[in-house]
Amino acid sequence: MKIVAREIPPRAAWALEQAGVHPLLARLFAARGVAAKDELDDGLARLLPPAGMKGTTEAAVLLADAMAQNKTLCIVADYDCDGATACAVAVRGLRLLGAQNVSYLVPDRVVDGYGLTPPIAQRVKASGADVLITVDNGIASVDGVRVARELGLQVLVTDHHLPAAELPQADVIVNPNQPGCTFESKSIAGVGVMFYVLLALRAELRQRGAFTAPSAAGPSQGARAPSGGSAVHAVTSVGANNLQPKLDALLPLVALGTVADVVKLDANNRRLVAQGLKRVRAGALPPGMSSLFEVAGRKTAVATTFDFGFALGPRINAAGRLSDMTLGIECLLSDDPARAEELARMLDGINRERREIEGEMREQAFDIAESLFDEGDEPPPAICVFDPDFHEGVVGIVASRIKDKLHRPSFVFAASQAPGKEHELKGSGRSIPGFHLRDALDLVAKRYPGVLLRFGGHAMAAGCTIAEEHLDAFEQGLNEVAQEWLDAATLTRRIETDGPLSPEYRRADMVDTLHREVWGQGFAPPTFSEEVEVISQRLVGEKHLALKLKHQGQPVDGIWFGRTEPLPQRVLLAFRLDADEWQGVRRVRFLVEGAEL
């Protein structure tokens, strides 16, 4: 492991500080590419305009025409948190804008697989829908879109995933990563894309004279309870009024889905998240989100991006992994606090089950991965793990754990549980910086024709389906690409830090200041590095290292989660600032991220 301090442009840091930014924040922001204070303006007016995203204008016309003709709109969602929040944003937003007939359908991970498939299109048609809208999927659904169109459905694809060479022949595609789209925020999440479509739709309706005054609409009516499976769930509009609806009520959902999907927090995404956080902290959030905060033991008044990524997101994702994402979507749609609380507790219970399954799979997967190389040797450039007993809903999490431990691109496979697909393996992969996972799969598919039945994803996360008999060929192909693309420096785990922490900032109130900011993928949370003295160390819970440290001559507590090996007396640590409370007193502690030994 190598601990490396980020470069801090002195002029940018000085300019930010002179503009009134806190000195420590000025240093942190400058190291993340912020050059001027106006770049930190998170006002809604600074969001990129919807018209800049290819397809939004056409999508707005399609939807406005459909609403004028009282057509039934059906949203086809995805079974992760981004897909669930995108579905909730679509249903709530369309209803706010006056759509009278809105339904949704979420595929079953096991039975249906990912995206808009031909059977899903047939179910949408059978439900009586006229317009099919995908959220967080669809850009790779060539066959599903074709069947939907043949059945007479209008199809609007809203997605953010990277497209393949062939695009689906939808009526309209809205995806910042499609050819010809100049929208600057290529990393926007699926929920963000749907939010932008709604902004464009509101502008189109305003141009058509649908609103008489720019005032907010009243609260919306809750959706009906889930009926299980992947049935189409009807959601009825509360009735149109002539006041222009304010769509900012959707921003908490947009923020949650953006953070949970671990997309890069570029300037536009940070503004979306910041606006959502402001509303959450002010108590202006859907009852379902509020209940999820409660069951997770978190407080909305001091909500952070960490809450979205590590508390709410996993509980929603658990439904799609082990049960039915309808539960997650209904929780986000419900405006009945009692029903929202009931659904949140169900999601919490499913997440506890997910953690148990993951723990068992993780240990087994570690054993398999470590059997691929001799003790003392370097791991292979890429890791592929499979066991017949693995649960396909948890393979992505386990792949992430292997990647974190071995610092290698990692795939974990499970046997498909879909009827008639028992010979297939479903895999989920996670990558390391410098290795574009989806592009790697594309190259494997070209070199080994027929091995990959389906694949898709992003640079850091991707999924694929293969025949079980082709597992060895896939592993060989992925390792070939990794061998070519990765060098020794890339295969060495690096922790980028913000250098030493001045003792004047080792305060509990400074922890609060840092937590209030928007951190995440591509805008990393502050991590400091310094050589410290280890006064004492002991294991807690049999798998965490509790530390008493001396930092610049002053004692401070530390905790290294998941570490069991002892540290030397003096060591260079990478750590984040945290605060714990004991007998009413808050004290700073270091959350250790790594050590250069």
Per-residue pLDDT of the chain (597 residues; tens, 9 = 90+): 899 999 999 999 999 999 999 999 999 999 999 999 999 999 999 999 999 999 999 999 999 999 999 999 999 999 999 999 999 999 999 999 999 999 999 998 878 888 899 999 999 999 999 999 999 999 999 999 999 999 999 999 999 998 989 999 999 999 999 999 999 999 999 999 999 999 999 999 999 999 976 654 333 333 333 333 456 676 544 444 578 999 999 999 999 999 999 999 999 999 999 999 999 999 999 999 999 999 999 999 999 999 999 999 999 999 999 988 999 999 999 999 999 999 999 999 999 999 999 999 999 999 999 999 998 899 999 999 999 999 999 999 999 999 999 999 999 999 998 888 889 999 999 999 999 999 999 999 999 999 999 998 888 999 999 999 999 999 999 999 999 999 999 999 999 999 999 999 999 999 999 999 999 999 999 999 999 999 999 999 888 999 999 999 999 999 999 899 999 999 999 999 999 888 888 999 999 999 998
Token pair 């509360």: residue:
238
Q: What is the pLDDT of residue 225?
A: 36
pTM here? Answer: 0.91
Cα torsion angle, 10, 12, 16, 18, sign = positive
DSSP-derived secondary structure letter, 373:
S
**Helices in 326-451 by DSSP H: which ranges?**
326-333, 337-370, 395-406, 437-447
DSSP letters, 422-477, are TTEEEEEEE--TT--HHHHHHHHHHHSTTTEEEEEE-SSEEEEEEEGGGHHHHHHH
Q: Which helix (H) or strand (E) holds 288?
A: helix 287-295
Beta pairing, strands 452-457 & 461-467:
antiparallel
Report how far residue 123's alpha carbon sits from residue 577's, in angstroms, rounded to the nearest whole number: 50
Q: What is the pLDDT of residue 273?
A: 98
Report how far residue 353's alpha carbon sits from residue 322's, in angstroms, rounded to the nearest whole number: 8
Rg (the chain; Cα; Å):
24
Buried residues in 564-576 as b, exposed as e (16+ CB within 10 A): eeebeeebebbbb
| Cβ neighbour number for residue 388 with a 10 Å cutoff | 9
Buried residues in 512-537 as b, exposed as e (16+ CB within 10 A): eebbebbbbbebbbbbbbbebebeeb
| Cβ neighbour number for residue 374 with a 10 Å cutoff | 8
Report how far residue 212's alpha carbon sits from residue 541's, in angstroms, rounded to the nearest whole number: 62
**Closest C-alpha among 435, 388, 381, 384 to residue 411:** 384
What domains are defined for the chain? 50-344 (3.90.1640.30), 372-485 (3.10.310.30), 495-596 (2.40.50.460)
pLDDT tens digits for range 430-444: 999 999 999 999 999
Query: Is residue 417 within 8 Å of 110, Cβ to Cβ?
Result: yes
